[in-house]
Chain A
Amino acid sequence: MAGVGHMSVFGFGAYAGAFKKSAPELGKIITDSIKASNQFLVGTSAAISSFNYLKMGRLVLPLAISLGIGSLIGAYLAAALSAGKLDFKSYQGYFGLFVLFLGCYLFYQTTEGAKSKQKTAKAAAKAFEDSVKKQKCGEDMTGCDIGLKIQKFTVSTCEFTFYGVPFKFNPLIPFIGGMVISAIAAFLGVGGGFLLVPFLTSVTQLPMYLAAGTSALAVLVSMVTSIITLISKGTPIEWGFIGIELVGIAVGSFVGPMTSKYLSDSLMKRIFIILSLYIGVGYTLAGFVGFKIPGV
């Protein structure tokens, strides 16, 4: 949504578009500025939040290296190859597709099919929770030994045990995953953390805390690489607008908990889905077809 703020609320989109015929290069620089500002805004928050995980050493080093190198390559290639080349209309179209995809995914999660899958997973979780309560063995296990031991790490295999249960994954998968996610994040100017944690927990089956800690490194690498690449190619960053947006986020975070009793989480989610679908359709049409819908 930071991108929407830059393009539609601040009006950078219309501003960049205005240079299409008179000074196309300037329009592309403004487009890069939108991307860099988005990434700074989204990535900084994620980096700050993830910093504690790094301090606590909750990262799996071989995986972090594999993911980090992939992220570095992906972010650099996407930023370097697209810097100064992407006109605003194309960027808006691709950004719109991404938002539309996100909206469709969130909408899918509200359907009966997705809910039944979630119910199955929640039932398994509940059954285990109940059995823990019955056995009265629910002592707090965090803070002590996190139970993860790397057994084997080669180019094609990483084997680890978590509390004695064996897990295995191919390190090339996080490498490629990190590269693709970071490339998409750098190309669109979005944060990659929200994609990396689910990727790590589903593909490598890492425990959530370790996935969060490990993805922190990749997010940092990706964000820093992309922003530095853009700045080194002469992309300006408007710190004042970023500061004003941060004020908005801070005020929203302050007011949000007070208003949450009037607006339930599910209602907020529905509003977000409608907004995402509307913006996604609007940006895609405006970017690729040149058709504008009101308010976008």
Chain B
Amino acid sequence: MTPFETVDALLLAPYRLFESPEAAFYFGTFFLAAASAALGLGCKALVALSQRSKRLRVDGETAHRADLSAQAAQAGDRVAYMAQNHLAQEAYGDSMALAAGRGAALLWPGMLTLAWLYWRFEGVDMPYLWHWAGPSTVFLPPHIAALWGFSRLLHPKKNAPPAKAEDAAQGSTP
């Protein structure tokens, strides 16, 4: 058995749990949507852990510069404001690059699962849906809902608005 065949068999397993093909299809796809969301969040947490010290430094610098730009504006010092704002923007670029890494870690399982779904089911009519609906129509809504739901479960405090600019600089928090 090749590695691809092994992965294929693994991904097909949840589709074999129901007798009815329609029920099996929806259960399998919803299961994969949730599983890939959980794997994505796990990977994102791992990447966030490895980035931790650099991220604290970069996000701290971004927040610090943004604070100083606000203080410069408050003091009426336009030159200092523009200079601090420029430095804040430079630091924000680094912060964005780190956030992109966390975003990629979050999304790769869903994208690869979607690719597999297209390989398996492209051209097949999606049960109970309109004729041009494809695997992404069935997969993406529960996947996005699972990402949101698991994220809420893991970080319930995120409901409250962040108190510091540092939180904002973090972009997507782990």
Binds A, one of B13-21, B27-35, B67-75: B67-75
Q: How large is the interface on B (under 10, 10 to 19, 20 to 34, 35 or more residues)?
A: 35 or more
A165 in the interface, Cβ–Cβ < 8 Å?
yes
B168 in the interface, Cβ–Cβ < 8 Å?
yes
B78 in the interface, Cβ–Cβ < 8 Å?
yes
The answer to whether A249 and B100 have CB atoms under 8 Å apart is: yes
Count how many pairs of residues, one from A and one from B, have CB atoms less than 8 Å apart in the complex. 208
The answer to whether B105 and A132 have CB atoms under 8 Å apart is: no
Known interface pairs A46-B96, A127-B80, A129-B68. Does A256 touch B87 (Cβ–Cβ under 8 Å)? no
A5 to chain B, nearest CB (A): 12
The answer to whether A208 and B89 have CB atoms under 8 Å apart is: yes
The answer to whether B98 and A143 have CB atoms under 8 Å apart is: no
Within 8 A of A (CB), among B24-79: 43, 46-47, 50-54, 62-63, 65-79
Mask: chain A, 195-220; 1 = CB below 8 Å from B; 0 = not: 00110010001011101100000000
B145 in the interface, Cβ–Cβ < 8 Å?
no
Chain B residues, Cβ within 8 Å of A61:
none
Within 8 A of A (CB), among B69-118: 69-89, 92-93, 96, 98-116, 118
Chain A residues, Cβ within 8 Å of B142:
none
Chain B residues, Cβ within 8 Å of A247:
104, 108, 112
The answer to whether B164 and A142 have CB atoms under 8 Å apart is: yes
The answer to whether A208 and B104 have CB atoms under 8 Å apart is: no
Q: How large is the interface on A (under 10, 10 to 19, 20 to 34, 35 or more residues)?
A: 35 or more
A234 in the interface, Cβ–Cβ < 8 Å?
no
CA–CA, A64 and B74, complex, Å: 24
Chain A residues, Cβ within 8 Å of B163:
143
Binding site for A on B (CB under 8 A): 43, 46-47, 50-54, 62-63, 65-89, 92-93, 96, 98-116, 118-119, 161-168, 170-173
Binding site for B on A (CB under 8 A): 44-46, 48-53, 56, 58, 121-122, 124-125, 127-129, 132, 137-138, 140-143, 146-147, 162-165, 193-194, 197-198, 201, 205, 207-209, 211-212, 238-250, 252-258, 260
